[in-house]
A and B are shown apart, each in its own frame.
Chain A
Amino acid sequence: MSGLRYVYAVCRPFGTPLPAQLTGVAGVPPKQLVHGDLVAVVGQVPEEDFAEGPLRAHLEDLDWLGATARAHQNVIDALTGVTSPLPLRLATVFLDDSGVRSMLEERADTFRRTLGRLDGRVEWGVKVYSEPTEAPDSKDTSGKAASSPGRAAGSGRDYLRQRRNQRKESEEKWERAEEFSRRLHESLSGYAEDTRIHAPQNSALSRAPGRNILNAAYLVPRTESEAFVELVDRTKDDAPGLRVELTGPWAAYSFSGEDA
C-alpha cells in the first residue's frame, strides 16, 4: 500500500472486530498493524494532505483541524468499545509500515506498562461552570459621568460603593464555586484510580455559557463507571448558580503519559 501511515492508537490485540462502516481521518477505514503482542491502529492517508508542508498548512485551518480531530476521536471511540486503547496525539504520521513497526519495537516496554495500567479503565471528564450572571459591564459609566458634571463627586462615591459591593459579591460567589468544585473533585476522586486537573476551557473556544471553574479528568475502572456517573448526577443540583457537566467515556487520553 502506498501513502503515509496515520497512527491513531496502540493497543493489545482485541478479538471483537471494529464496526465495518468505521472510517477515520481522510475518510479511510482504519486497519490493524500487528507487531508481536502489540497492535497499532493505522490509516493510510494521502501525501498531498499529510506530508509536512500540506499538513502544516491544513492545521492552520480550524475547520480542517476540527474535522480531522473528530475523525481521529471517532476511531478512538470505536476502539474504546472493544478494548482500552492508548490514544496518540493528532497527526502522528509515518512514511510506511516499517516506520510504524520500528516505533512499536522501540517503545514496546513503555507501551506494555501503560496498556497494563489502562486496561479495563476509561476516562470521564467533569466540568463545573458558574452560570452566567447579568453582565457587570452592561452599565456604561463613562458616558454618564461626563453628561452630569454637577454630580460627579456624589456619583463617584456611589460608584465606588457599588463597585465594592459588586466585588464582594463576586468574590463570595467565586469562593462558593471553588469550594463546591474542591468537594466534588474530592468525592469523585474516591472512585478514580487517577485524576488530572486541566486548565479551564476558554469560553470563546468551547462556546459553553458561563465560566469554566473546574475541568478535571478521572481514570475510572469500567466496573465503577456506573457508580461514578450516578454520583455526578446526584451532585448536579447541589449548587445553585453552578452547572456540572459530564463527558465520556473517553479513551484514557489524559492518562496516556508516563508521568502517572
Chain B
Amino acid sequence: MTTAQRLPDPYGNGGGANLADILERVLDKGIVIAGDIRINLLDIELLTIKLRLIVASVDKAKEMGIDWWETDPQLSSRAGRDELARENAELRAHVAELEEARAEVPARRRAPAKKEAKE
C-alpha cells in the first residue's frame, strides 16, 4: 500500500503538456482491455492523424508513414535514410537537367564540358 512519496515537480505534463506526448501514452501505451463498446483505435488514430497531415502537407504525411505508434526496437535511423532518398531524388533531377541542357545544344555534344562532368 503505497501512497505517493515526495516526487519532483512535474516536467512537461501539466496543463501545457505536449499533446503528442499525451496522445502517445493515452492512445498507444496504456493497457488494452476490450470493453463492451468495441472500436479499433489503431484505425481511428491512423485516419485522424493522416487526414490532418494530408491537409497540412503531403510530404509530411508521407514522412509520417503509418508507423508512428509501432515500437522501433532500435534508435531510428530512418531519418538518415530519408535524407539519402531525398538527396538521390535531387541528384537525379539535377542530372536530368544537365542532360536536358546538353540536348538543347546538340552541336556542342562533344564539348570538353562532357568529360569534366564525368566525376
**Chain A residues proximal to chain B, CB less than 8 Å:** 4, 7, 12-16, 50-52, 55-56, 59-62, 65-66, 69-70, 72-73, 76-77, 80-84, 86-95, 99, 103, 107, 114, 119-120, 122, 125, 137, 141-142, 145-146, 149, 152-154, 156-157, 159-160, 163, 167, 170-171, 174, 178, 181-182, 196-202, 204-208, 211, 213-214, 217, 222-223, 225-226, 229, 245-250, 253-254, 256-257
Contacts and interface: CB of A to CB of B under 8 A. Distances in A.
Contact of A95 (B31, B36, B44): B36
19 contacts: A59-B44, A60-B44, A60-B51, A91-B41, A152-B101, A154-B116, A178-B75, A201-B68, A202-B63, A204-B63, A205-B49, A206-B20, A213-B75, A245-B12, A246-B11, A246-B12, A248-B11, A248-B13, A249-B8
Interface extent on B, as a size class?
Answer: 35 or more
Nearest to B34: A92
A59 B41 contact: yes
Among B10, B29, B77, B91, residue most surrounded by chain A Cβ atoms (within 10 Å): B29
Contacts of B91: 160, 163
A117 B69 CA distance: 24
B30 A256 contact: yes
B31 to A, nearest CB: 4
B18 A157 contact: no
A82 B2 CA distance: 8
B85 interface: no
B3 A199 contact: no
Given A15-B3, A167-B87, A256-B29, A94 B35 contact: yes
A204 B23 contact: no
Nearest to B29: A253
Closest 3 CB pairs of A and B: A206-B20, A153-B113, A247-B12
B114 to A, nearest CB: 7
Contacts, number: 256
Given A146-B97, A208-B20, 15 more contacts: A59-B39, A59-B44, A62-B49, A66-B23, A89-B30, A95-B37, A114-B31, A142-B94, A153-B113, A197-B73, A204-B64, A213-B79, A256-B29, A256-B31, A257-B31
Contact of A153 (B28, B35, B98): B98
B37 A52 contact: yes
Given A141-B90, A156-B117, A93 B19 contact: no
A128 B89 CA distance: 29
A89 B2 contact: no
A45 to B, nearest CB: 10
Contacts of A61: 48
Nearest to B11: A246
A16 B53 CA distance: 43
A16 B5 CA distance: 13
Contacts of A94: 35-37
Contacts of B39: 52, 55-56, 59, 91
